[in-house]
Structures are given as structure tokens and as C-alpha cells.
A and B are shown apart, each in its own frame.
Chain A
Amino acid sequence: MEGPTVQLVVTCLVDALAPQVGRATVTVLEQAGCQVEFVEGQTCCGQPAFNVGMVTEARRMAGHTLDLLDVTKGPIVVPSGSCADMMTRHYEELFAGTDREQQAERISSRVRELSQFLVDDLATDLKASCEGCLVAYHHSCHGLRGLGLGHQAANLLSEVDMAELEGATDCCGCGGAFAIEMPAVSAAIMNEKLDRIEASGADTLVGGEVSCLIHLEGGLRRRDSKIVVKHLAEILAGDDS
């Protein structure tokens, strides 16, 4: 199947902290028949500053991202519900009344989260496989409630054994800067989530959001847990990434 040419936005966290997720995303998109392009020089979508209310700083980072992407064409695919949510739902508001307003609109309308792009746009028949795994899926809030994601990941994971996770749509407590501003509260929320993940019997935790996943994996490591943490792209790419 000959798919479209897509622009990959890897996000700051994937670029610096989880490059394996970026590589897996490339693999998966190519398996789905896409030509993957990546504009070099990407940094951060600006969400960290936007979420603490620092609008000027958010605009500077988002402006950099807009300029890079504005010379490209085609769908912009992001392996993060949170950054995709920022770029689709908040860019226009962030730049409303500025001279970047139309540019923001242009870019926003092209942005798609990875699972959304694979399932809703490409109607891919890709399925993750994970022999002998029992997978718990963590719905990240911004993807879930901001973009209405959920069924796409379920589709991609439909051939994998899934654990029943209590409070599966509850927040994990990360919340970006919140985890550093209010660490004890963030950790208490995280620990409830980790208790539930452990109680589900899952041996693998999968999610679509690196920020939640490093928070949860970092917490699991403190428990000496054997649960393996993977991004959706990694489990989809299997051993090919």
C-alpha cells in the first residue's frame, strides 16, 4: 500500500529522553506504507511554558516549531497525545490576535496523534503483537479527553492480551511541571495508579505519552517492579525498531 508522505514531530521528550520511541514511530509509519520526513532542528512545542501560564515563552517555542513545519506539506504526526493536543487545540488560542494567527491555524489543522493517524486516517490493519504478555494500557489525559483518543489504541492492541485495569482513565498524576511543583501530591496520585497496575497482573504497561510513561516507569523502578514499560509505537514496531 502506498501511503502519504508524513512529517514526523518527535517532541522534546522523545528526542532527548526516549529516542527509541521516535525510531519505533518511524518504523510503524513505514510499515503502514508512509514516507516519513523529519525536519531537523525540532525542539519543543511550547506546552511546558503554556501550562504554567508563561504565554510569551510558550509563543517563542511554539513559533520556532511553526516556522520549521510551515515549509513542509502533508499530515504532521506526533507520537504524543499531549503535544498533539497542544498543537491542535491550543496553538490557535495561543496566537489569537498575533501575526502568527493564520500560520498557527495552518499547522494545527495538519496535526495528528500517531494512533489517530494510523487508525482514523489510514485505516491501517497493523496490529501489535506481544507473545505471552499481559498488557495494561494507560490512557493519557490530554489524548483521552483533549483529542477523544482511546478506541484507536484499543484497535491497534486488539490482538494482545489486555489486563483489566481499575480506574484505567484516571490521571497518573504527572501533569508536567506539576510533578515538580507539587511532587508529593503527584507521587501520591502516581502510587495509587501503580498499585492498580500491579494489581491488574499486567507484566507490560503501554501508553501513548512519554511524559506519563517516564513518570510511571520511574516510579515502578523505585518499587523494583518487573513490569516492562513501552510506548504504543514500540509495541507496534515489535522487534523491527
Chain B
Amino acid sequence: MSPQPVTFLGRAEALLGTRAAESVNQGMLHLTAMRDNAVSGFPLMDAMRDRARVIRLHALANLDRLLSHFADQVVAQGGAVHFAADAVEANQIVARILKETGSHLVVKSKSMVSEEIDLNRYLEDRGFEVVETDLGEFIVQLAGDTPSHIVAPIIHLDRHDVGTLFAQKLGVEETFDPTRLNQIARDHLRETFLKADAGISGVNIAVAESGSVITVTNEGNGRLCTTAPRVHIALLGMERVVSRWEDASVILEVLARSATGQRLTSYTNVVTGPRRESDEDGPEQLHVVVIDNGRSEILGSDTAEILACIRCGACLNVCPVFRTVGGHAYGSIYSGPVGSIVTPGLLGMEPWWELPYASTLCGACEEVCPIRIQIPSMLLKLRARAAEEGRLPGWLERGMRRYTNIADSSSKWERAKRLVHTLTWPVSRGGWIRRLPGRGRGWTAYRDFPRPARESFSAWWRSNRGA
């Protein structure tokens, strides 16, 4: 693989206008239309969103208490709970459980936190065989790619990409028919499920009162991962806990509608403890790994509210920047508006401080967020942090200082307007400039810029209305 450009802009420019970017845009328009349709058919949505916000903020405010109650309940149900401070610890815990249970073949259902800690690579380096079973994630793994969307990981690919990939990697006859492609993946995975020693899943919602973990999927692979193998390991981002079932039901009401426009996903999988004696199936062991990995840091900062996110992806779908370039431009598995806040929070400002600038601040994200998270406001806070820490590019910082030195004084402003009007005479035609110097070239590479007026508004006022 050729080296990835190191900045958002570099990656974004490489993606602009590609077939992948077009696939993303079409996919996002589709998901947004589905979401809008589901929301307009559900008069309670706004009230549910208000309720969901209260529930999530309450959970964050009581996180230590809820987590400890949750852990007690998991143990009471016969499961085990492990707390991981960071990615390394989380990976070590999972590897240790696998080793201790004599597991080799591991099936996984979709888990963003496992991507966050780069679990697959860690396990594969230590000789475990890891198979992604979510269709999208299976394709990502087969292609050696990364997910480009937190809900729809292969939204950047189309059926032709997948057909070619399957023919190459699975040795099947090339087909571009989605139903047949689905069948190929299903046949391939079915046997793996039956042979697997352990299943790893993510967690959408953890319910403290019963020690349950809920995962929502549309493919049923999650249910197979958590029931067929002997061992089930659930990876829980530590913020995803709520107090009660009543709370979980509200989150479920808004989650699927916001994510895919469904009232509920096809499968809502609830795991409460390992297999009991009376159960016909289920794993012998349940391990819940509660992962911090920077979340405490965010919780103590002015962007704590982002931890209320339920990862529906709606903010990605409506974001004009995300729609145009796709998730890979962000360089982090958490992309789009939410990712631009989560990533610098989890991984640090360097080099991630630039992500909050990958936004027009249009506010479409906050408008659709089921938790009404104030995303633009947090982007601004992170920008203020970046500026305060002196991370802005020199041209921007100097340019804005220069502008401020003019715009904080009436007389300098007056002089500057006249001066710029005069200076732009040679480059203007009919009141418009075709080519600006310096960083202004970015503007005029794609659009004309209006020449400052000969008579500004204030000059006109002075001549015509002034005292």
C-alpha cells in the first residue's frame, strides 16, 4: 500500500471525485432519506430524543456508580468483568482470556471499540485466527481495508468492488449480484461459526440493573457470535451504560430510526450472563471488558457531552464534508462530526486537532442527533483549544491577527478598504477577481472573488445620510 497522506486535507483531496466518494455520497443520501422518513412517521421522536438526552447525560454524571452496579450484576449472573485502562490492557485481557480458555478460532461481530484498540492485529500477531462476521466488516477484513463509516463500514465500496474481491480472495466465480454475494459470504462464514472457540462482540447498550449487554444488528451474525462458541467476550466502551431497562428501551427507539431509518434493527440481542443449566445453548463463559482508553480524559474535559453519543452515525450521513470525502479522510475509525470530537479526545490533540476544522459548522449534525449533542459548539471548543495551544498553521494565525489588527479599529478599517480596492484594480474585471494571491488562491482556484467596492456602505452612508 502506498503511504497515506498525513493530513485530513491531503487524504480528502485524494478521495475527492473518486468512485469511492461517489458511493459514500449516494449511500449517505439514501440513509438520510430513510432516517427522515422514519422520523416523520414517528410523532414521538422529538419527545424520545429529549428523554434519550436526559438518560445519557444522567448516565455520564453517574458513570462510576452505574459501572460498578453493572459489574456486580454481571458477576451475579455468572459472568466476569475486566476493566481496561487503555488499548494495550484491553488487548492483553482479551488475549489472556482466549489463551486461558484454549481458544484459537475467534468469530467477531461488529465492534467499533475493537477497531479503536486494533484488536484484530494484536490477536493475529499472537497466532489467533480472527474472522469478522458482519458482512461489511468481513469484506473490510478480506480487503485489508478499514471501515469508512461507523454503521456502514463498506459504504465506500459498491457491488462490483465486492464481486471482484470475493473472486480474488475466496476463489469463487465472479458475480456482481448482491443476493449471490451475500450467499457466498454466508456459506463461507457458517462453517466458521460452528468451529469457532470464542465469539467477540461489541456492546450498544449495557444495562446496569440486570447486568445485560445489548447488541443491535441486521444480520443475525451477532447472535451467532454470542451464542454458538464456548466463550463470549463483550467489549464495552465504558460510557455506554444506562441505569435501567426503561432507559435502554428509549435509546433503542431513537437508535435504529436515526441510524438506518428502521423502527428496530432486525436483531436486538440481549445477553445476561453465560449459559445457565436450563439453557439449551449459549456460551460457557461470559467476559465483559470495560474499556476506558481515554474516555475518562474526555469525561473531565469541556467535550464530555460527546460521550453521550450512541453511535447511530446520523451526523456522518448529513455532514456535507463527510458526504463529499467519506470516512477514510479522517484517518481515524471515528469519522465525521462525532469522530472529529471523539478522536482528539481519545488519541490526543496531535495530530488530531485538525479534525474539528473539517467542518463548515453548518449544524446539520446537531439537528439530527438523537441525543441532541451540541456538536458544533464542541467543535468550536476544540478549535479554541487548538488555537490556544498554538497548533494553527502560521498563515492562518498570522492572517487572522492581521485582520483583527485592522478590524478592531474604525480608522484602520476605513483605510484598509480603500487600499484593498486600489490594490485589486489590476486583477479585477467587472467587479470580480479571478486570481487572489497567497492563501486567497484557494478561494479563486474554484470561484471568483468580489472586488472590494469603490464606495463602501459606510462611505455611501456618510455621503448620503450622514449628519
List residues of A whose CB falls within 8 A of some B CB. Answer: 10, 12, 14-19, 22-23, 26, 38, 40-44, 46, 48-55, 57, 60-61, 63-64, 68, 141-142, 144-146, 169-171, 173-190, 192, 214-215, 217-219, 221-222
Contact = CB atoms under 8 A, between A and B. Distances in A.
B387 A178 contact: no
A189 B360 contact: yes
Contact of A54 (B13, B400, B443): B400
A53 B385 contact: yes
B435 interface: no
B432 A185 contact: no
A57 B383 CA distance: 14
B445 A52 contact: no
Interface stretch (B45-53, B339-347, B402-410): B402-410
A64 B407 contact: yes
Contact of B363 (A19, A54, A141): A141
Given A18-B450, A185-B324, 14 more contacts: A16-B453, A17-B453, A22-B460, A40-B461, A44-B403, A53-B384, A54-B401, A57-B403, A145-B367, A170-B320, A185-B16, A189-B324, A192-B25, A219-B446
Contacts of B277: none
Contact of B410 (A14, A16, A43, A175): A43
A57 B396 contact: no
A175 B409 contact: no
A53 B387 contact: yes
Contacts of B364: 141, 145, 169-171
A52 B363 contact: no
Given A43-B407, A60-B408, A16 B417 contact: yes
B134 interface: no
Interface in B395-427: 396-397, 400-401, 403-404, 406-410, 413, 417, 420
Chain B binding site: helix, strand, loop or mixed by DSSP? helix
Nearest to B8: A182
Nearest to B365: A145
Given A185-B16, A218-B447, A175 B401 contact: no
Contacts of B13: 184-185
Contacts of A169: 364
Contacts of A53: 380, 382-388, 392
Given A175-B361, A185-B12, A10 B448 contact: no
Contacts of B452: 16-17
A40 B455 CA distance: 14
Contacts of B403: 44, 48-49, 57
A192 B25 CA distance: 11
B420 to A, nearest CB: 8
A181 B397 CA distance: 12
B447 A222 contact: yes
Nearest to B439: A180
Contact of B407 (A61, A190, A221): A61
A147 B146 CA distance: 39
Contacts of A18: 450, 453
Contacts of B141: none
11 contacts: A16-B420, A48-B403, A49-B403, A53-B386, A141-B362, A145-B364, A170-B364, A178-B359, A182-B321, A183-B445, A188-B324
A52 B396 CA distance: 9
Interface of B: 8-9, 12-13, 16-17, 25, 320-321, 324-325, 357-364, 366-367, 380, 382-388, 392, 396-397, 400-401, 403-404, 406-410, 413, 417, 420, 432, 439-440, 442-443, 445-450, 452-453, 455-462, 465-466
A199 to B, nearest CB: 15
Closest 7 CB pairs of A and B: A175-B360, A53-B383, A41-B410, A218-B447, A183-B442, A187-B446, A22-B457
B400 A49 contact: yes
B405 to A, nearest CB: 9
A64 B19 CA distance: 49
B388 A60 contact: no
Contacts of A16: 417, 420, 452-453, 456
Contacts of B406: 43
A43 B443 CA distance: 22
Nearest to B358: A182
B72 to A, nearest CB: 41
B448 A38 contact: no
Given A15-B456, A43-B409, A43-B410, A185 B321 contact: yes
A221 B432 contact: yes
Given A180-B443, A187-B446, A171 B413 contact: no
Contacts of A184: 9, 12-13, 16, 445-446
Contacts of A189: 320-321, 324, 360
B447 A221 contact: yes
Given A215-B447, A222-B447, A40 B366 contact: no
Contact of A188 (B16, B361, B408, B450): B16
